[in-house]
Amino acid sequence: MIHEPILSVDAVSPPAAFSPASDVAALGAFLEIGDRLGVLPYLQRGDTVTAEQLAADVDLPVKAVADLLEAYQAAAIVERDHGTEGGFRAVPELEWLCYQAGYVSWALNANRPFVENPREFLKDAPAARRIHHRDMREVAVSSQWMGSKAFYPALLATIFDARPSRIVDLGAGTGRLVIEVLQAFPEATGVALDMAHDACAAAVEAAKFAGVEDRMTVVEAPIQSLADDPSVLQGAQAITAGFVFHDMMPEEEEIADRILRNSRAALGADGFLAVTEAVPYAAMGWERRFSALVTYMHQQFMGRGLLTESQWRDKFQAAGFSDVVCIRQPFPTGRLFVARA
């Protein structure tokens, strides 16, 4: 007996044991692949791409790019642009997809040396740290994906509210935050400070591309240098620092304290310091799992101490700030501290 049709496939609704984890997993792998192939920037800036043109742009065989676009379309990462023969463009929610992928990318890709070698780290962390290094580009990419929806919105809202005439960003990376502020406030000036040469070079290029190079200074220096020479902080109305101070704990905590005091001294009466940081073991249901991972990764593998909300408050007060507000972020375990004179 042959059934026609034989395929007793059931309805569109997902089965009871369906898990959204499968979607997250697929996005993580697909977007990492797209990032490494150099394909993602074209989609992120909203281009309509064809396999032929994109293959030429990223130096890959046309067939390979066509297959990838087919897979991306099946995965609802791109969709047909019917105005262009063979054209595809990102789905409107691509930034949201990258945001979701950022979490798995940080946990399992940027931190891969820890996930793969936990025994070595738990037996002798200093020795393991000398051998197993994270790929800092992967750290930056996953942080940017997470940050797009999780770190930046509350920080930008705080800065835009204040309309600062001068902003200094510590650990500025490619200068993205400063550039965004300078574009919004045509009279403002800014400083992007980072110790990484490649990041600073990229920041210079990005400032030119954005047309703000006359108002933006890129300083290639470690943040630690501000403990003894705080001249780049002078005149700032907003000083920002995202996930940089915990990197000095515990060994360089005294240096961090001096930088905070120097920041307080440099800021005018209406200025503020905005510090984005991770607090340890946040206990709210929606953030507890990822917070636990962030905490554990820092403590066990990176050898970094995270401070609690109260410890941060005490630290800002000890540096001379008297008005400190803590704002929870959509980023699990993330807090934005805004400290004013």
Residues 143-162 that bind its own copies (CB under 8 A): 149-150, 153
User: Which residue number, 107 or 266, has a Cβ lying nearer to its own copies?
Assistant: 107
Q: Restricting to residues 221-260, which ones interact with its own copies according to CB under 8 A?
A: none
Cα(284)–Cα(275) distance, rounded to whole angstroms? 21
Minimal distance, residue 167 CB to its own copies, in Å? 23
Based on the shown chain and the rule CB under 8 A, indicate whether residue 330 belongs to the binding site for its own copies: yes
Based on the shown chain and the rule CB under 8 A, indicate whether residue 127 belongs to the binding site for its own copies: no
Minimal distance, residue 87 CB to its own copies, in Å? 19
Based on the shown chain and the rule CB under 8 A, indicate whether residue 109 belongs to the binding site for its own copies: yes
Minimal distance, residue 165 CB to its own copies, in Å? 24
Instruction: Give the residue, chosen from 290, 306, 307, 315, that forms a contact with its own copies under the rule CB under 8 A.
Output: 290
Q: Restricting to residues 55-74, which ones interact with its own copies according to CB under 8 A?
A: 60-61, 64, 67-68, 71-72, 74
Based on the shown chain and the rule CB under 8 A, indicate whether residue 30 belongs to the binding site for its own copies: yes
Instruction: Give the residue, chosen from 51, 295, 306, 307, that forms a contact with its own copies under the rule CB under 8 A.
Output: 295
Based on the shown chain and the rule CB under 8 A, indicate whether residue 17 belongs to the binding site for its own copies: yes
Sign of CA dihedral 201, 208, 143, 222: positive
Instruction: Give the residue, chosen from 107, 128, 260, 274, that forms a contact with its own copies under the rule CB under 8 A.
Output: 107
User: Which residue number, 231 or 310, has a Cβ lying nearer to its own copies?
Assistant: 310
Based on the shown chain and the rule CB under 8 A, indicate whether residue 24 belongs to the binding site for its own copies: yes
* Total chain residues near its own copies (CB under 8 A): 95
Q: Restricting to residues 184-223, which ones interact with its own copies according to CB under 8 A?
A: none
Minimal distance, residue 276 CB to its own copies, in Å? 15
Of 25-33, 43-51, 201-209, 211-219, the window that binds its own copies (rule: CB under 8 A) is: 25-33
Secondary structure of the chain in HEC code, one letter for each residue: CCCCCCCCCCCCCCCCCCCCHHHHHHHHHHHHHHHHHCCHHHHHCCCCECHHHHHHHHCCCHHHHHHHHHHHHHCCCEEEECCCCCEEEECCCHHHHHHHHHHHHHHHHHCHHHHHCHHHHHHCHHHHHHHCCCCHHHHHHHHHHHHHHHCHHHHHHHHHHHCCCEEEEECCCCCHHHHHHHHHCCCCEEEEEECCHHHHHHHHHHHHHHCCCCCEEEEECCHHHHHCCCHHHCCCCEEEEECCHHHHCCCCHHHHHHHHHHHHHHCCCCCEEEEEEECCCCCCCCCHHHHHHHHHHHHHHHCCCCCCHHHHHHHHHHCCCCEEEEEECCCCCEEEEEEEC
Of 116-124, 203-211, 240-248, 270-278, the window that binds its own copies (rule: CB under 8 A) is: 116-124
